[in-house]
Structure 1
Amino acid sequence: MHFKKEFIITLSLAIMLISRIYFEIKTIDIDKISVKTKKIPQNKEFKIVHISDLHNKKLPNNSINLLDDIMKLNPNIIALTGDIIDAKTRDFDNIYNFLDNLIKINKNIYYVSGNHEWKNPKNQQFIKGLKNRKVKIINNTNRIIKCKDFSINICGIDDPYTNHENIDKAFNSIDNNNFTLLLSHSPDIIFKPYNLNCDLIICGHTHGGQIRFPFLGAIIAPGQGFFPKYDKGIFELERNLLLYINSGLGTSRMPIRFLNKSQISFITLTGE
């Protein structure tokens, strides 16, 4: 009888844990962040939907609910910060279908590569598909986005985790009077001896640790080891530079998330 009771308790806990993991993977949160800046006229806004680390994940409900949410957010741009495919992805139809639906919402899609794109032997084929869809690939380059009363510098670096970044090219000839947004796959860029001439860095890569615990946060993150300082969310660095880390939509290595739901981010730049 005692063994039977222990078995039922253990089984119940296992079912609860598995259910929680399934819920974390399948449920998508929208992390809403507001950044105030004097480089945008007072009360004006610039809105960004930030998607990272999809890892070729097939989204629930054919991504209809997520796409509806993105449409309602009405962003100025959509930023993709790498690992949209996985290193093992060979068929890109799932990702291309998702991108085609995103393009119907907003054609202003900006992309930088992640380490999984670099590891994928069919990466050039994937990039060709992005170019065919007019996705703006900004690896080690920059663009100016002109709004009615202000402009935004959007800079991108190729994946710093695999040492493919070129900061000089990314920031070449930008106007420092404009708000400067940097897209990077990995937060590793802040550990390198660069003068990051920007106001906000948005990235992914860490997955928020995938597994998190109360009070401790992420257990491990690539490039930072155990109990990483920069795991997910927004951080203020030196010289008022802000770093934002998106915990991503997908998973890698193990298809597990715990206390760390899949997410996209909605970042609003507001003039003050």
Structure 2
Amino acid sequence: MNIKNKSLLKTAVLAGTAAYLHLQNTWIQKTEYTIPVKHLAPENEGLKIVQLSDIHLPKEKINLNKLIDMTKAAEPDFIFLTGDQIQGEALFDPTVAEKLFRKLAAIAPTYAITGNHDRHSPMFHIAVDLYKKNGIRLLDDEAISVVAKGRKPIVIMGLSDKSSAIQKITKDFLKKIRLRKDWQGQTRLLLAHRPEHFLKYHTDPEKSADVTFAGHAHGGQIRIPKVGGLFAPGQGRMPQHTEGVYLLPTDPDKKLVVSRGIGGSSFPFRINNRPEMVVVTLTHDTVPEGEE
């Protein structure tokens, strides 16, 4: 191969790699799960939730208008924002965040929790104000009972993200969350940013959620087929919980949904790990879980 051909081949490889990395970080994937819930009210059959996690404004890289269109097309009953809506050390444009939050809340009732980046952001108070202004309910170690149109009530619990020191000594992560007696029997859904504490979210059987929604792991950042993600914060190398649906070892009726998330963070690239919008449909029938 002559020098000219080698140069053309090198250019083509570099261009192909750049195109691949661009698509891996900007092309949103919709992942759908149908999850059986024990004792789900018949009226809540087919209840649909869109989960958006780890947007990391302003490091989202995706087209936010496309994300809004995809969310609207899914026709959810609820939208869950499971932490790290904003990047910890970066300054985001409040007008961009406001547009996103306003349009999401116009699609369906939207609930948010904090992630570690939210807590550390110098603009966190601005994000909180934008939630309130645009109709998004921030759940800070609290639970509410809500009803979608034509449905029966469900309980949505939101866990605020804790510092690493507190996480190490805390045995019951849901200790501050209060459930009313008249909510007994309602399906319980938990928004909790960190999937690595799945077991600790079920310490108290009275608060144990039927389905927990988490993010934080970024899909393991680099994914290898049949192996999974290579690294995740809070889990380290070869993490266990990076995407998909997991069963609680002590009670398989309890599920954990982990989103790969949407935005970038400290690591600059996603590889074999596209930004993800998760759509969860609840059913009282026993059906296989997984992507369509």
Structure 1 residues 82 and 149 mapped into 2: Cα distance closer, same or farther (>3 Å)? Answer: closer
**Is the contact between residue 58 and residue 94 of structure 1 (CA under 8 Å) also seen in structure 2?**
no
Distance in 2, Cα, partners of 1:10 & 1:236: 46
Match status 1:170 vs 2:185: no
Distance in 2, Cα, partners of 1:218 & 1:104: 34
Distance in 2, Cα, partners of 1:201 & 1:161: 20
- Residue 178 of structure 1: how far off its partner (Å): 1.5
Distance in 2, Cα, partners of 1:161 & 1:35: 31
Distance in 2, Cα, partners of 1:229 & 1:6: 42
Amino acid at match of 2:238: F
Distance in 1, Cα, partners of 2:76 & 2:201: 33
Who is 2:284 aligned against? 271
- Residue 214 of structure 1: how far off its partner (Å): 1.7
Gaps of 5+ in 1: none
Structure 1 residues 40 and 29 mapped into 2: Cα distance closer, same or farther (>3 Å)? Answer: same
Structure 1 residues 35 and 102 mapped into 2: Cα distance closer, same or farther (>3 Å)? Answer: same
SS class of match (1:103): helix
Match status 1:189 vs 2:222: no
Aligned pair partner of 2:107 in 105, 108, 111: 105
Q: How does 1:1-272 map to 2 (within 5 A)?
A: 1=1, 6-42=6-42, 44-56=45-57, 57=59, 60-61=62-63, 63-90=64-91, 91-106=93-108, 108-147=109-148, 148=150, 150-160=152-162, 162=164, 163=166, 166-173=173-180, 175-190=183-198, 192=200, 195=203, 197-238=208-249, 239-240=251-252, 241-272=254-285
Q: TM-score, normalised by structure 2?
A: 0.84
Structure 1 residues 249 and 58 mapped into 2: Cα distance closer, same or farther (>3 Å)? Answer: closer
- Residue 134 of structure 1: how far off its partner (Å): 2.4
Q: TM-score, normalised by structure 1?
A: 0.89
**Is the contact between residue 41 and residue 152 of structure 2 (CA under 8 Å) also seen in structure 1?**
yes
Farther-moved stretch of structure 1 (161-170 vs 86-95): 161-170
Alpha-carbon displacement from aligned partner over 1:159-206 (angstroms, at most 9, x marks no partner): 146447851222533634221100011113225485151111101101
Farther-moved stretch of structure 1 (190-199 vs 258-267): 190-199
Distance in 1, Cα, partners of 2:223 & 2:85: 23
Q: How many percent of aligned residue pairs carry the same amino acid?
A: 26
**Is the contact between residue 160 and residue 189 of structure 1 (CA under 8 Å) also seen in structure 2?**
no
Gaps of 5+ in 2: 286-292
- Residue 26 of structure 1: how far off its partner (Å): 1.1
Between Structure 1 and Structure 2, how many residues are aligned?
A: 270
Amino acid at match of 2:264: T
Runs of 4+ residues deviating >6 angstroms: none
CA RMSD of aligned residues (A): 2.3
Alpha-carbon displacement from aligned partner over 1:222-265 (angstroms, at most 9, x marks no partner): 11111111111111112122111101110101331111111111
